[in-house]
Amino acid sequence: MKKILSLLLGILLLNTVLADEGMLIPSLIKAFESDMKAKGMRLSAEDIYSVNSSSLKDAIFQFGGGCTAEVVSKKGLLLTNHHCGYSQIQSHSSLENNYIENGYWASNLDEELTNPGLTAMRIVRIENVTAQVLLGITSELQKSEIKANIETIIENATKGTHYTADVKAFNYGNEYYLMVKETFLDVRFVGTPPNSIGKFGGDTDNWVWPRHTGDFSVFRIYAGKDNKPAEYSSDNKPYSPLHHLPISMKDRKNGDFTMVYGFPGSTEQHVCSSYLEQIITEERPSRIRMRDLSLSVIDKAMKNSELIRIQYASKQARISNAWKKWIGQIDGLKRLDAVRLKKETEQEFTERAMSNDNWKQKYGETVAKMNALSDEFFKYEYQYAMGIEYFYVGPEYFKLIRSTNDLISNYAKYVEEGKIDEIKEKMLKTSEGFFKNYNQEIDMEILSLLTQEYFSKIDGAKSFTATSVIASKSVFTCQERFNQFIQKFNKKSAKKVLKDAGYSHYTKHYAEWIANVIPNYRSFSQSMDVLLKNYVAGKLEMFPDKKHWPDANSTLRITFGQLEGSSPADGKVYTEHTTLDGIIAKYNSGNPDFKIKPRMLELFEAKDYGGYAQDNELWVCFSGSNHTTGGNSGSPVLDADGYLMGLNFDRSWESTMSDYMFDPNRCRNIVVDIRYVLWVIDKYSNAGHLIEEMELKK
């Protein structure tokens, strides 16, 4: 076992990614230092990742469990994307204080707003624990033994500390890494530009280059008096970080070194050709259609009501983001002829395996088995995806039912424990938050449209819901009815709710999905993962000179490249940056997604760029050849000295295919220039006191 582990680790270290593709594990960055320096980097590996002293990693945080953020001052000031902080911005907004429309800037610490449940997590250290996890393991079936080994590793790593830890599988279980974490529980909202900056371009520009979106928001981490994580308290103080990022005020140019440091969500570079083809032709188009229907209702309603714009701003953004990404993803994969390329890779793999008796025995049938499994059982992947779209992305009142099911199922237990009043009060608070942003008419129209679409796709049958009955009588579609239901809840209520039209519709079909789809989906996924583990092991062993990197899995990663434009298709040539002039040109087009406020025009006409311009232009965004994905939103883009150049927030439409296949000639990440961020804070918003906290490097 030790020999095998040493071989695998050696292979990974030798396979330095020479191009821009790949999401690298920070603890292994020493192996890539020379390649990064060849691209222009002036940092050392120790500057980027260190356990024994402060390093860049200590300024990088996972924001809210999904996005990335970075600390930019000694007082815990945190930058992330506008869309990453959007749910907090929306939660603090009302018709009286519309921070979505008008922006918000705290003028002092007392005006920074609390966000219950919002966290910021940094990585303390990363450690390869493959040998410990697999100690005594001789079979794929020893899941409980692997779990026990992992629990022991975590216990030993966190004993006597306030840290938590995870052990994550990499390369489908060929490797395991320990992530020791420090999670801060008091993260306050400091400021945001208005939507006309933070969401400039709206759906028109989403996933598109050239881009002019000021996609940033500002938060602050607070800690207890000992500078350690603490629940919210008025006694908490701004966090003093181990490291904060200096701000690069230097001129940029095409070809400059760029490094993205963050928490990319997931990639699937190893899927087989059959699976990829069905993603392109079936799964993605059906999910796009489901979101088409929801957006057709929401977008129309938002245009006609200021209140609905506030209520549904975050929901609409969440639904439309993946919707447009998938459209570009399908187009990019088709243009690249990705299925053909995948088949060529698989043929090469199999031919190499058949050239050696040992490899033939281990890997000779791997590709064929993967494709056969996908051909037969992908239908469960499809049904799972459609269920996600219907039950979790679709009608909102489904979410309220899920929140209430604990009370319905465990009423007797809570009465016995004397907790029933506490649980009821909790549900009434849930009701307040839910109905604040709920519109029954919108939800019922979405319910009707998606129910028809879902069942026509799943079993070819039409299904209709009594939406009028659900709207007029269900306790889950009206705050007054729901609150009365909770307040009067007793042992008979659990039976009465079964007759509720909204509840019975959801529970009947959700139970069918759970019973008929989930077990088959899990079986398919687990069987495929076993084959993928073997496939990746074969790649590492049989192709030692090729580039290898582990799929993204929401762990801290590094990707490096250059500031550069692209030519993604015949006749298209994209420059590497955009300027304020482009904002004004788009505004003059008359498209409502490009509206701006008078303040922007005033500053533009006066050419009042302060010290934030380059060659009399104010850069807004730039693109780079860094390999990014979801979760990299908000990630710092760093220059050759480790100074903050900007915030990663998107990919070009031609790049969204990079979750499955990266093309260095067309894939580009999109970044809001930090100098534009500072200009918006300082000149546009008159919040220069925040700039004074930062360390500017010219």
Catalytic residues: 83, 215, 633
- 271 Cβ contact partners less than 8 Å away, ≥ 6 residues apart: 279, 342, 532, 660
Residues 83 and 205 sit within 8 Å (Cβ to Cβ): no
Matching residue, tokens 């299904």: 463
One-letter amino acid identity for 604?
A: F
What are the φ/ψ torsions at residue 557 (nearest 5 degrees)?
-140, 165
CB atoms within 10 A of CB 687: 20
Q: Are 677 and 213 in contact, with CB atoms under 8 Å apart?
A: no
279's tokens: 């993603």
| Residues of the chain by 3-state class (helix, strand, coil), percent to 5 | 50, 15, 35
Residue with tokens 């209140």: 307
CA 279 to chain centre: 20
Give the Cα separation of 212 and 285 in Å (integer). Answer: 29
- Token pair 């006694």 in the structure block, residue: 235
- Do residues 325 and 332 lie in contact, with contact meaning Cβ atoms separated by under 8 Å? no
**DSSP, res 212:** -
Structure tokens belonging to residue 16: 């330095």
Distance linking the first and last C-alpha atoms of the chain = 52
Task: Return the SS3 of 271.
Answer: coil
Across 195-268, where does the E strand assignment appear?
A: 217-223, 237-238, 247-248, 257-262
In sequence order, the 6+-apart residues with CB closer than 8 A to the CB of 150 are 133, 167, 176
